[in-house]
Structure 1
Amino acid sequence: MPTTRFEESDDSIARARQLRRDATLAERKLWSILRAAALDGRKFRHQQRLGPFFGDFVCQAARLVIEIDGATHDGDEAQAYDARRTAYLAREGYRVIRFTNTDVMTNLEGVVGALRSVLAVSDTPSPSHATVPRGPLPLPQGERK
């Protein structure tokens, strides 16, 4: 028997809760910085569903997905899955930034600095472009070949 939209939603909620409950130490450490809009007033969600996938941390306002990758992302199959997932998210208008567990555990300050840099770029939209680019951006005047 096919599931209803409501049942799928319940499954998504349960899966997100499980992912949050089973978060790695690195995810918990970064979440302590991102939660409650503690990073420069930006609101992040932990383990948010994005289509058929979940993002470790998602800032909807900046269309940014932060992924924390551990050893399970090292194999060819896992990397192919990550590439498909990143491509899907890019088509949906998201930028994906990845850090390793080691990055977060040993250089949290550097990770936070990198996030601030990425978020600063999203704070300065170009008046001539849509906020979510759907294709190649045109070159500024005078640089066309």
Structure 2
Amino acid sequence: MATEAFEEIAETFEFLDDWEDRYRHVIELGKALPPLDDALKVPATKVEGCASQVWIVPRIDGQGASAVLDFEGESDAMIVRGLIAILHALYAGLTLEEALSVDARAELTRLGLNDHLSAQRSNGLRAMVERLRGIAAAEAA
């Protein structure tokens, strides 16, 4: 299950033949993210397991499994900011129950990210997905 925003990214990736163009597109997505308030860049919002500095701040609207997930995020690395933007497109606006049912690995594979990210970036992306799933699971309970 993918959101409309994620489907748009997937369609753009299909249109871009060259990985360098896709890489630039990921960076552009990251540049479009609003900056995260420095007051929110605290240990509780930092994502461990990323080579870069990464913060994810959840915004949950409602209660229980039907609450809607949204989040803000930022990184000190441009490509990682772009990955945060992609994850935002994948998860934002879903209920917590829907977010927990997303097969992030399969959806991200559609973009070809696994083939072109370094091992460190792949581990960081996995850590961000785990953080979002953890937030959804904790809030849904």
Same fold by TM-score greater than 0.5: no
With structure 2 as the length reference, what TM-score do the two structures score?
A: 0.31
Greater Rg over alpha carbons, structure: 1
| Structure ranking higher in strand proportion | 1
With structure 1 as the length reference, what TM-score do the two structures score?
A: 0.30
The structure with higher relative contact order (CA 8 Å, sep 6+) is 2
